[in-house]
């Protein structure tokens, strides 16, 4: 089970099964959220402080999406995350090859926050890297990789994602 810290109203699951949760993770979820089956909510096990996932009201998270919380991930109100996306708040492995070969954890400074402001829409297969903020109302096209902050109210896409045009 998700072990949510609060008691949201009207949470909807779609598909067969429940979301997968692993590692230390405090989850707070808003009302009227739609969560697909087979998503993964994972907290960084090497964290000094328990990672935190904050999900706003009226959020939709699509099938086979992975949310990997390094420190904190904030998903604003009315956000849509299409299926097979990834919010990656930590690397999972150290940059040093010798440390990686020994099976050591990633370094604490590799873990960063991710913020999706209100009304963001991530298309299918979008990857958002650690340390990124996506501004209110921004749409990110399918299969994009977001490596840097995106401003509010733009259409962005590509690898790495770049602003294509304003939405207004």
pLDDT string in tens for the chain (168-residue length): 567 888 889 888 888 877 899 999 999 999 999 999 899 999 998 888 999 999 999 999 999 999 999 999 999 999 999 999 999 999 989 899 999 999 998 888 899 999 999 999 999 999 999 999 999 999 999 999 999 999 999 999 999 999 999 999
Residue 124 forms part of a structural domain: yes
**Considering the domain boundaries, does residue 4 fall inside one?**
no
For residue 39, is it within any domain?
Answer: yes
93 a catalytic residue: yes
Contacts for 58 with CB less than 8 Å, ≥ 6 apart = 30, 31, 32, 33, 77, 78
Per the domain annotation, does 2 fall within a domain?
no
**What does the pLDDT read at residue 1?**
52
In a domain, 62, yes or no: yes
Q: Give the active site residue among 34, 72, 93, 112.
A: 93
Cα gap 13→72, rounded to integer Å: 23
User: Would you say residue 3 lies in a domain?
Assistant: no
In terms of residue numbers, what domain contains 155?
12-93+106-166
- For residue 47, is it within any domain? yes
The pLDDT, as a whole number, for residue 2 is: 65
Q: What pLDDT does residue 135 have?
A: 98
Q: What is the CATH number of the domain that holds 69?
A: 2.160.10.10
Within a domain: residue 35?
Answer: yes
Q: What is the predicted pLDDT for the residue at 107? A: 87
Number of domains in the chain: 1
Q: Measured between alpha carbons, how far is 29 from 56 in angstroms, rounded to an integer?
A: 6
pTM of the model: 0.94
Q: Is 87 exposed, middle or buried (0-12, 13-18, 19+ CB in 10 A)?
A: buried
């Amino acid at each position: 089970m998700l072990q949510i810290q609060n008691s949201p109203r009207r949470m909807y699951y779609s598909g067969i099964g429940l979301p997968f949760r692993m590692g230390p993770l405090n989850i707070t979820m808003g009302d009227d959220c739609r969560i697909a089956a087979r998503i993964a909510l994972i907290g960084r096990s090497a964290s000094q402080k328990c990672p935190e996932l904050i999900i706003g009201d009226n959020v939709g998270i699509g099938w086979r999406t992975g949310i990997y919380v390094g420190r904190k991930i904030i998903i604003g109100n009315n956000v849509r995350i299409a299926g097979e996306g990834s919010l990656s708040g930590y690397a999972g492995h150290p940059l040093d090859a010798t440390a990686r070969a020994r099976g050591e954890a990633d370094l604490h400074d590799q873990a960063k926050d991710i913020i999706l402001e209100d009304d963001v829409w991530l298309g299918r297969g979008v990857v958002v890297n650690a340390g990124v903020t996506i501004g209110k109302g921004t749409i990110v096209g399918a299969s994009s990789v977001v490596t840097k902050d995106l401003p509010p109210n733009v259409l962005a896409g590509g690898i790495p994602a770049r602003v294509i045009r304003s939405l207004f």
